[in-house]
Amino acid sequence: MPSVYDFSVKLNSGEQKPLADYRGKVLLVVNTASKCGFTPQYKGLEELYQKHHAQGLEILGFPCDQFGHQEPGSDAEIKSFCELNYGVTFPLFAKIEVNGDGADPLYKFLKSQAGGILGEGIKWNFTKFLVGRDGEVLERFASVTTPSALESKVEKALKG
């Protein structure tokens, strides 16, 4: 059965990153945007990352401009914005599409494993997927679910 470890994605720097490099980690995969009402979640994501990274949590941020043109910047501008405004140190990837014909294969897989209330499509920025240490998608969370509200689920996944 496929897992997230079967995919390779492009980092914000342009280099390819096999997700197999994260084998054995708990992943929180998030589609992000810099000009969205949910953008302040970057702060909560970074806090979660700082608190649990040593226990095996990786947060993977995937900028996306498919919702209200809320991520218009280049990959370099996005990285700079996140670092300067929210102190983001977790990995940021190249801007992608999460819906439609151009959706990144990783997101096609994530959506097939954990559909939303209204179907598989991503409804907005900051939709989150929690992935267990085995690469299996555990749960999907809507944009309104704050990073702090996920902490108990992350802790449970880290304990395995």
Task: Give me the catalytic one of 9, 28, 36, 59.
Answer: 36
pLDDT tens digit string along 148-158?
Answer: 999 999 999 99
In our burial notation (b when 16+ CB lie closer than 10 A, e otherwise), range 23-44 reads eebbbbbbbbbbebebbebbeb
- Would you state the pLDDT for residue 120? 80
144 within 8 A of 49, measured Cβ to Cβ: no
The yes-or-no verdict on residue 104 having pLDDT over 70 is yes
The yes-or-no verdict on residue 3 having pLDDT over 70 is yes
Is 36 among the residues known to form the active site?
Answer: yes
pTM: 0.95
The yes-or-no verdict on residue 144 having pLDDT over 80 is yes
The yes-or-no verdict on residue 117 having pLDDT over 70 is no
CATH code, 4-159: 3.40.30.10
Mean pLDDT of the chain: 95
Residue spans per domain, the chain:
4-159
